Amino acid sequence: MFRIGIGNDIHQLVEGRPMMLGGVHIPADRGGAGHSDADVLLHAIADAMLGALCEGDLGVHFPDTDPQWKDANSLQLLSRVAWLAHERGLHVVNVDATVMLETPKLRPFVFSMRENIAEVLGVEASVISVKAKTSEGLDAVGQGLAVSAQAVVLLGS
Ligand SMILES: [Zn+2]
């Protein structure tokens, strides 16, 4: 059996917050606003996995009204979602994700992101794809106001 899911996330960029992407701290003068650590990449992947499981979305499982998840490490959130999949006898076949950020360039950090995600999901980094793009100066991402991510996850039994 195979199950596929899609996930999207966007966070506003604000001063005074660390920028976390794929569990990697990116040196930047601004970071994502949000209740947790605002790691859009991990949120998109976790949402895609929940979608594949038909288990609602991250907000259902980790409500932002719950103080337990304030500044939460999103690797822990993803780990919980991975556990839900394992409970159903499903494992990650592959992940394909894209992060949209105008600056800084993410390429030097992509391998560390893939390793972090692979470790939490219990797979090899070779099945985790992370692509980094800009918005060419267009829209909120392009104007440096936001960071966003999309992910597709395939689960198999
Ligand atoms: Zn998010």
pLDDT one digit per residue (tens) for the chain, 157 residues: 999 999 999 999 999 999 999 999 999 999 999 888 999 999 999 999 999 999 999 888 888 888 887 778 999 999 999 999 999 999 999 999 999 999 999 999 999 999 999 999 999 999 999 999 999 999 999 999 999 999 999 999 9
pLDDT score for 130: 98
Residue 32 C-alpha to ligand 1 middle, in angstroms? 9
Q: What is the pLDDT of residue 137?
A: 95
Query: What pLDDT does 15 receive?
Result: 96
pLDDT of residue 95: 98
Q: pTM for this one?
A: 0.96
Measured in Å, residue 38 CA sits from the centre of ligand 1 at: 5
Amino acid at residue number 30: R
Spell out a b/e string for 27-60, using b for 16 or more CB atoms within 10 Å of the CB, else e: ebebbbebbbbbbbbbbbbbbbbbbbbeeeebee
What pLDDT, on a 0 to 100 scale, did the predictor assign at position 36? 87
Rounded Cα distance, 129 and 148, in Å: 16
Report the separation in Å between the CA atom of 147 and the middle of ligand 1, taken as the mean of its atom positions: 10
Residue 50: predicted pLDDT: 98
24 three-class SS: strand
- Report how far ligand 1's centroid is from the alpha carbon of 43 (Å): 5
pLDDT value for 66? 83
pLDDT at residue 68, rounded to an integer: 80
Q: At 116, is the secondary structure helix, strand, or coil?
A: helix
Between the CA of 2 and the centroid of ligand 1 the distance, in Å, is 26
Tally of helices (H runs) and strands (E runs) in the chain: 5, 7
| pLDDT value of position 20 | 97
* Amino acid 149: pLDDT: 98
Q: Which of 140, 114, 134 is nearest to 45 (CA)?
A: 114
pLDDT for res 27: 97
